[in-house]
Structure 1
Amino acid sequence: MVAPEYSIVLDIVGLEVEHLNSGLVPNIAKIANDGEYAKLEPVFPAVTCTVQASLLSGKYPNEHGIVANGLYDRNAYFVSFWEQPSSLVRAERIWDRRNSCTSAVLFWQNTMYANSDIVVTPRPIHLDDGVVMWCYSKPVGYYEELRDKLGEFDLASYWGPLASPRSSEWIANAAEYTLEKHRPNQLFAYIPHVDYSVQRFGKSDARARDDLKKADDIVGRLVQKTSELGIKDKTQFIIISEYSFNDVQGAIPLNLVLRDAGLLAVREIQDKEYLDFEFSKAFAMVDHQAAHIFVKDGFERAARKILEATAGIDKVLDSEGKKRLKIDHERSGELVAIAERDKWFSYYWWHDEKKAPAFARKVDIHRKPGYDPVELFVDPKTKSIPLDASLVRGSHGRPADLETGEGLAFYASSSKHDITKSGIAKCTDIIKCLAAA
């Protein structure tokens, strides 16, 4: 096969092979049927940062080190989520194999300072009197150029109670502009909005189906753009989703479980309780349906016993279990917990909501020691984020199950590649499909 001159890789969260025959995604179905498609086996945990790092490097988490959407700094006693520096990924990614190939990457994770010709990724600047809606870009000033052409990127449409397809539409417009002006050999664009509706409403809800249609419209527009530019016959489209969803009913407050067992410590400051990383014998960095449990020496057996006795937890991985799932990395917790299919993990540690830190009721993705999908909702009475984990209807992250099909995502390419076995493509093989200039 002659390698195409251009590749456009679209990461559309929540797509599944079953959607091809639904009538919702005709543009995606055409690409799939004209080329090839398969169910995609994500790496574990099937969460954004981890899967994206594997897609772009061809490596597993025990090699590239992105074991979750968050990181725990054992030296600084600090958890942070959604950190963006490219150097956090300890593996070569596709744009590092430069040759004469030019690349543009729009809104993928861990791309600040990446070795790509063009980068755009959200990086709001937090000031005492508000937030500057800014995006990091390379070359310097490219976001400002896009802003002048497309309008400011609205961070509220990207995450939080106002998250909507507007974020994906802006990214798609940026992709069209980038194609027209720079014509990169490889363009990567993240289309996130289906993620929001499935977490809010569940997989089968009409609003999630409507968002799939909108994602398909974006694909159609980008295909049309390549026609207008006269490069359609030279371009391969690769469409992937990072994971598929499970419908869920209820969350497990892992840190509260550990607190009640005497393993987690809190400090009370001005009548609010904060997790005490220094003196906790064990605490959980939660991420959808997976959680890293960081345990002090001598308390692993006690922590594991408590977790295994907790309703809603499916498995607890020790060192051997982590090796089997290729999550055995120094950044991983001593234990890794996996929720049952219809449950997810919340980060909560308080008994009394009045004791919850102020950031619990805000969209505050960096200070919470866990991913918080409840940030997609708002309490109409208080105009703040509620503390009601039962609102969440969709989650993900568990290991894919090849027998039942649980967790299998989506891969399609307008070109044919030999990466599928019995209709299954591995996340780490997608890198083989990308064309070199």
Structure 2
Amino acid sequence: MHRTLVLDIVGLSPRHLGAHTPNLTRLAERGAMRPLTPTWPAVTTSVQSSFVTGAAPSEHGIVANGWYFRDLAEVWLWRQSNHLVEGPRLWRTARERFGADLTVAKMFWWYNMYADVDWAVTPRPVYPSDGRKIPSIRSEPPDLRGWLQGELGRFPLFNFWGPTADLKSSAWIAEATRKVIDRDRPGLVLCYLPHLDYDLQRHGPSGPHAVKAAQEIDQVAGDLVDHARGLGYEVVVLSEYGIEAVDQGVHINRALREAGLLRVDLVDTGWELLDGGQSAAFAVADHQIAHVYVSDPQKVSSVKRLLEGLDGVERVLDAEGKRAAGLDHPRSGELVAIAAPGRWFTYYYWLDDAVAPDFARTVDIHRKPGYDPVELFTDPAIKALKLKIGWTLLKKMAGMRYYMDVIPLDDRLVRGSHGRLPSSREAGPVLLSTRTVGATDHMDMTAVYDLLLATMAD
């Protein structure tokens, strides 16, 4: 059996490979490169789950980065339990084929918690009752956390997501992966490097920012690949999706509210909170797709017609459309909307920013009932922004409650998104391998599962 490193470089596309990415380009030239035909939707947790199950979302159940939990009447995004994934697991099948003693490391790969692997690390902030957010990680075994943070310093959570997200988080993850490889020599290593996700959403998939981001991740990934190769590892580099240019959001929940279908709860603080349990229809927005939950089956057709007439919506899938797209699962909405090229879905449901909930202007991925890429920006309308942030951080350091309300509510800031099927193979996801991958000029994403098993085989 060949030890194998699987490196997920988020947002990498064939068009990024070239003179400014010498390490990844060399890997493609010496081994193999294939554009990937993605499963749909092209979002992180859905695609990662297809990689490790060999199945579409209709089978593994990860229909987006989050969904409406009907029994709780709550929207939850970015859950971590591996028990949410249905179907086989790559590492279980590998153990059946190559021996029960095969060891596995999952380094920041999603649905990390409670996976039956030997080493696992994932972001897990600590939230004291005074309102602070303290960067941390969760690990299996538990002492791995202390060892890694003792070697590398505390995980840079605020460089992993938010306005200050940058290369530091991916560099930390890559170095942590290297240390686990050096110490434990896992038979299979799954590593997630998110760096391209940041500036490509902020500034778009082309131009100087994209080139610089590609150069940076090429160096980090190249160092890890070379190190693993020196220890005898085969390497597969892959991506979940390509990021394409956008310039405007689609306020799908506002349209449903204006039609009298979405309900809010006006709480005592003067904020409006989405009330999914009382809504006739509402959307869980996730990049360029939105699951639309319709409580009354008799209203599905009328809601579909309403959304099909909304500017920025390309298609709306009903039950038949979901079956054709591989998205017919009980967790899916009764309808699934797909944004038009150049557009993406906001989660905004209020009609007046004055009654937006307090978390809307913060980085709060768990309380927002939809994905919010605007969290990558600070509000350009705030005067003396650095002074405001500095004062807030002083309160945090003093152990006082603080409110980091620096995130804008302007969908026009976002310049890159994903979720739709790519406009071309050059703009879509890609796979690079140190080994040959067959004669086809592209590969289905669900075939990656078998390719990884073949890579590990003697």
- Range into which the TM-score falls when normalised by the shorter chain: over 0.9
Find the aligned partners of 2:125 and 2:117 in 1 and give their Cα distance.
21
Whole-Å separation in 1 of the counterparts to 2:227 and 2:264: 55
In the TM superposition, structure 1's runs of 4+ consecutive aligned residues that sit over 6 Å from their partners are: none
1:255, 1:347 within 8 Å by CA — same for their partners in 2?
yes
Q: How many residues get paired?
A: 425
Report how far residue 25 of structure 1 moved: 1.2
Q: TM-score, normalised by structure 2?
A: 0.90
Match status 1:359 vs 2:356: no
Once residues 302 and 52 of structure 1 are traced to their aligned partners in structure 2, the CA distance between those partners, rounded to angstroms, is 34
Give how far 1:90 is off: 0.6
Taking the TM superposition and a 5 Å limit, the aligned residue runs for 1:226-375 are 226=228, 230-231=230-231, 234-269=232-267, 270-297=269-296, 298-375=298-375
Amino acid at match of 1:117: D
Q: Residues 318-368 of structure 1, C-alpha deviation per residue, up to 9 Å, x if partnerless?
A: 001000110000000000000001000000011210110001001000111
2:255 and 2:360 map into 1 onto residues whose CA distance is: 18
Which ranges of structure 2 fall in alignment gaps of 5 or more residues? 386-404
Residue matched to 1:194: 196
Deviation string 1:26-48 (CA, Å, 9 cap, x unpaired) is: 11111111111111111100000
Cα distance in 1 between the residues matched to 2:142 and 2:413: 41
Distance 1:308 1:76 in 2: 29
Partner of 1:45: 41
Partner of 2:104: 103
1:34 touches 1:414 (CA, 8 Å); kept in 2? Answer: yes
Determine if contact 2:11/2:239 at 8 Å carries over to the other structure: yes
Quote how far apart the aligned CAs of 1:424 are: 1.1
- Give the TM-score, by structure 1 length: 0.94
* Kept after mapping to 2: 8 A contact 1:185/1:436: no
| Amino acid in the other structure paired with 1:296 | S
Once the two structures are overlaid, the 10-residue window that deviates more, 392-401 or 161-170, is 392-401
**Are 1:12 and 2:9 counterparts?**
yes
What's the counterpart of residue 425 of structure 2? Answer: 405
**Aligned ranges 1:50-89 → 2 under 5 Å:** 50-89=46-85
Shift of 1:143: 1.2
User: Is the partner of 2:421 in helix, strand or coil?
Assistant: coil
1:386 aligns with 2:408: yes
**Cα deviation per residue 1:90-110 (whole Å; 9 max; x = unaligned)?**
122112222332111100111
The amino acid across from 1:120 in the alignment is: V
Determine which structure has the larger helix proportion and give its number: 2
User: Which structure: greater strand fraction?
Assistant: 1
How far is 1:241 from its partner?
A: 0.8
Query: Where does structure 1 lack aligned partners over 5 or more consecutive residues?
Result: none
Give me the whole-angstrom Cα distance separating, in 2, the residues matched to 1:162 and 1:315.
35
Q: Distance in 1 between matches of 2:237 and 2:277?
A: 44
Shift of 1:407: 5.5
**Who is 1:26 aligned against?**
22
Match of 2:129 in 1: 128
